């Protein structure tokens, strides 16, 4: 696979300040296979309180059309808090539309499709090899994540692949088991299949108990070895996010919701 390299710049803004969160964002170049589309654009900067990401929504990997909808450039602007806080309760991610975004400048939607079935798009195999596709308005988005499609490499043990709209990071599938990361393991979802995912994703799964060091909570996250909180990508439902543990601003803002 071509090393993804979206042209990512840290903008100098009047209100911008140094922010180590911008280090999570890879610098990428357009994929030659996407010559019929605009080059990907991602700008990242920080204000005193927020991480701000501007993107045109064009992938930095080879786009393969997996729905009847062609790819369109979208003017995305995402803002998340630099100081996310656990609320003590969970809240639902949007049934349709934006739930987070990747460090490669692409939106993350939830683990269900649109009407009429609201089925599981991974189970129904209606995604491309990077586990995304385009909605009716042409917005490319992910329902699950493949590390190599975001970063162009799988060498990092616990990379940041994106951010949920509550500001907490979304890590890759492998997590550190100690603060120095001398040990690591693949994280597992606590959700179990109990029905037919093609007939409704959320009704087809139920969440079990998060036990041990590798089974995540109902939101698909955990307390990290350093005491912080973060979500993890998993191979099974809900794939990225099952709910929010913080306060999400701007969630659900979308260009169509993901129905094919």
Rounded Cα distance between 167 and 145, Å, is: 18
Give the three-class secondary structure for 192: strand
Q: Please answer whether residues 115 and 83 qualify as being in contact, where contact means their C-beta atoms are separated by less than 8 angstroms.
A: no
Which pair of tokens denotes residue 108? 């993350």
What pLDDT shows up at residue 209?
Answer: 80
What pLDDT shows up at residue 257?
Answer: 47
Measured in whole angstroms, the distance separating CA 24 from the mean position of its chain's CA atoms is 13
Q: Which stretches of the chain score pLDDT less than 70?
A: 1-17, 253-260
Q: What is the enclosing helix (H) or strand (E) of 147?
A: helix 147-151
What pLDDT shows up at residue 50?
Answer: 96
Rounded Cα distance between 31 and 59, Å, is: 8
Phi first, then psi: what are they for 21, rounded to 5°?
A: -65, -30
Q: Please answer whether residues 31 and 60 qualify as being in contact, where contact means their C-beta atoms are separated by less than 8 angstroms.
A: yes
- Work out whether strand 76-81 and strand 50-55 pair parallel, antiparallel, or are unpaired: antiparallel
Which three-class secondary structure string do you get for 24-65?
A: HCCCECCCHHHCCCCCCEEEEEECCCEEEEEECCCCCCCCCC
Give the closest residue to 83 by CA, choosing from 252, 249, 251: 249
What pLDDT shows up at residue 254?
Answer: 54
Burial class (CB in 10 A: 0-12, 13-18, 19+), 214: middle
What pLDDT shows up at residue 12?
Answer: 35
Rounded Cα distance between 49 and 138, Å, is: 31
Rounded Cα distance between 260 and 89, Å, is: 33
What pLDDT shows up at residue 253?
Answer: 62
Q: What are the contacts of 13-16 at 24+ separation with CB within 8 A? A: 13/45, 13/47, 15/47, 15/48, 16/45, 16/46, 16/47
Domain ranges of the chain: 7-232
Q: What is the pLDDT of residues 40-86, one digit of tens each?
A: 999 999 999 999 999 999 999 999 999 999 999 999 999 999 999 99
Measured CA to CA in angstroms, residue 16 lies from 27, 50, 128, 147 at distances of 19, 9, 36, 29
Rounded Cα distance between 21 and 225, Å, is: 19
């Amino acid at each position: 696979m071509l090393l993804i390299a979206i042209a990512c710049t840290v903008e100098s803004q009047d209100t911008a300040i140094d922010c180590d969160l911008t280090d999570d964002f890879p610098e990428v170049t357009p994929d030659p296979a996407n010559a019929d589309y605009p080059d990907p654009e991602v700008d990242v900067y920080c204000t005193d309180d927020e991480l701000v990401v501007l993107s045109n929504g064009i992938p930095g990997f080879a786009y393969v059309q997996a729905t009847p909808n062609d790819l369109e450039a979208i003017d995305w602007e995402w803002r998340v808090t630099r100081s996310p806080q656990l609320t003590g309760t969970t809240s639902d991610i949007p049934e349709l539309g934006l739930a987070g975004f990747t460090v490669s400048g692409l939106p993350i939607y939830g683990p269900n499709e649109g009407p009429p079935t609201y089925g599981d798009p991974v189970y129904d195999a209606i995604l491309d090899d990077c586990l995304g596709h385009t909605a009716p308005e042409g917005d490319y988005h992910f329902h699950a994540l493949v590390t190599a499609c975001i970063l162009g490499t799988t060498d990092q043990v616990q990379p940041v692949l994106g951010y949920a709209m509550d500001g907490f990071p979304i890590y890759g599938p492998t997590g550190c088991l100690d603060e120095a990361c001398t040990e690591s393991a693949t994280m597992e979802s606590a959700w179990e299949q109990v029905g037919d995912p093609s007939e409704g994703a959320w009704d087809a799964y139920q969440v079990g108990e998060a036990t041990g060091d590798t089974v995540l909570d109902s939101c698909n996250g955990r307390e990290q070895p350093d005491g912080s909180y973060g979500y993890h990508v998993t191979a099974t439902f809900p794939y990225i996010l099952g709910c929010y543990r913080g306060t999400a601003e701007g969630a659900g803002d979308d260009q169509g919701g993901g129905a094919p």
